[in-house]
Structure 1
Amino acid sequence: MNINAPLKKGRKYDQVVAGAREVFLKEGFEGASVDQIARDAGVSKATLYSYFPDKQALFMAVLTSQCMQQSDEAMGIEILQQPVPEALYSIARSFLGYLMSDFSVQVFRVCVAESARFPDLGRAFYESGPQQALDQIASYFASEKVQQDLTIDDPYLAADQFLQLCRADMLLRKILNVETDVSDEAIERIARETVKMFLARYRR
């Protein structure tokens, strides 16, 4: 299986990905069948296979599309133009909102469960999600705008610290079903405290 092989796109590509997203969310990776995905997407299996060689490639297309959407929301130009403390809060709030979503948690569980059998799947998940977030936040921390307010010598280390502060214990509790519902108030509190701690360490 070549997870990173280029995929053909066409007028029904987005339709297939949208249908697959719902099936993967309901059934998980193992439980999702190509027949069900094709049926829910409203396409034939032949059409589905014309875009995706296998279920793994389809799963990664779903993941990649979600990560791109999250990236646009968390690191949009209107956010990056805000004063640094406000931008950090917006980034943390958006990141936490996605991280605690049912879809994100389900994808994480699936990739952990399948990564031993399909190492490419785990690697592609990391590169499409966590690595992309790390790269984008590190790039922001290295920018002239941020460097005017914060003293950050190692943007990648600082980005990792920022993301780890965001996750807190809340993510583990959600993954393990200790806590199935995370309130907006809890997310906002963690985002605020993340920014306070980060600024206490790096503010000039």
Structure 2
Amino acid sequence: MNAEMQIRKGRKFDQVVDGARTVFLREGYEGASVDEIARDAGVSKATLYSYFPDKQHLFLAVLESECAQQAEVEFLMDAGELSVEDTLHVICKTLMTFILSRFGQDMFRVCVAEAQRFPELGRAFYDSGPRKWGRKIAQYLDSPRARAVLEIEDSALAADQLAQLCRTDLMLKVLFGIEQDPPEAEIDRIATEAVKTFLARYRRA
């Protein structure tokens, strides 16, 4: 996959991505055909190809559109209006909300199922989601505001630890279909406890 290729956006770009999202989650990557995606999106194949050169780039666009909610967290990080503890709570809660969402779970299943045959899709999912999140969290942990409160030598490791604290047994329950649509109060409770544990390790004395 040529990740550097520029994708042209136009009037029906979002329409194509929405149609692709539906088909990929329904059929998986290999089972999804360009014909079916165009049909679900309500566009011609010519229109689809005017935006995306191949199915791989379209799949990546779906991933990136869903991970765009990180922008809210990036804004909060840059705004500097929240305390470090509150910012960490927002990061954890937003991360958990995406991980536990039906789309997040469905996309995770698709990427895991296809990763052996199409390792570039697993890489795309990792780069667009976990890796990008890790970098953004590490950047925040390296900021003067965070460093005034936290004592961290390895911000990348600390960022990963914070994210892992959010992946509790609840994630497995949702992944295996034991629990669906966990209540926001439970997500908030787990995020709060994750921040408490993180601060117990890294807060300056």
Q: Fold conserved (TM > 0.5)?
A: yes
Q: Deviation string for 1:93-151 (max 9, x for gaps)?
A: 11111110000111111111111111111111111110000000000000000000111
Find the counterpart in structure 2 of residue 154 from structure 1.
154
Q: Choose 45-54 or 106-115, whichever is displaced more.
A: 45-54
1: CA distance, partners of 2:58 / 2:22: 12
Question: Structure 1 residues 188 and 151 mapped into 2: Cα distance closer, same or farther (>3 Å)?
Answer: same
Q: Is the 8 A contact 2:149 2:203 kept in 1?
A: yes
Match of 1:20? 20
Aligned-pair CA distance for 1:2: 3.9
- Provide structure 2 residue ranges, at least 5 long, that are not aligned to the other structure: none
Stretches of structure 1 that go unaligned for 5 or more consecutive residues are: none
- Pairing of 1:88-99 with structure 2 (within 5 A): 88-99=88-99
Letter in 2 for 1:196: K
Deviation at 1:13, TM superposition (A): 1.6
Report what 1:184 is aligned to: 184
Which residue of structure 2 aligns with residue 65 of structure 1?
65
> In the TM superposition, what are the counterparts of 1:51-200 in structure 2 within 5 Å?
51-68=51-68, 70-77=69-76, 80-200=80-200
Paired letter, 2:111 = C
* Most deviating of 109-118 and 36-45: 36-45
AA partner of residue 186 (structure 2): A
Contact kept, 8 Å, 1:75 with 1:91, in 2: the verdict is no
* Partner Cα distance (2:29, 2:100) in 1: 19
| Contact map agreement 1:20 1:58 (CA 8 A) in 2 | yes
**Residue identity (%):** 55
Judging changes above 3 Å, is the alpha-carbon distance between structure 1 residues 4 and 112 closer, same or farther for their aligned structure 2 residues?
farther
**TM-score, structure 2 normalization:** 0.91
Q: What amino acid is aligned across from residue 203 of structure 1 in structure 2?
A: R
SS in 2 for 1:81: coil
Alpha-carbon offset, residue 30 of structure 1 = 4.1
Give the Cα–Cα distance (whole angstroms) in 1 for the partners of residues 148 and 187 of structure 2.
28
On the 8 A contact 1:135/1:156 being kept in 2, the answer is yes
RMSD: 1.8
Query: Bigger CA drift: 89-98 or 13-22?
Result: 13-22
Using the alignment, how far apart are the partners of 2:2 and 2:153 within structure 1? Answer: 37
Q: Distance in 1 between matches of 2:3 and 2:74?
A: 26
Aligned length: 203
Secondary structure (helix, strand or coil) at the match of 1:75 reads helix
User: What TM-score comes out, normalization by structure 1 length?
Assistant: 0.91
Moved more, 100-109 or 19-28: 19-28
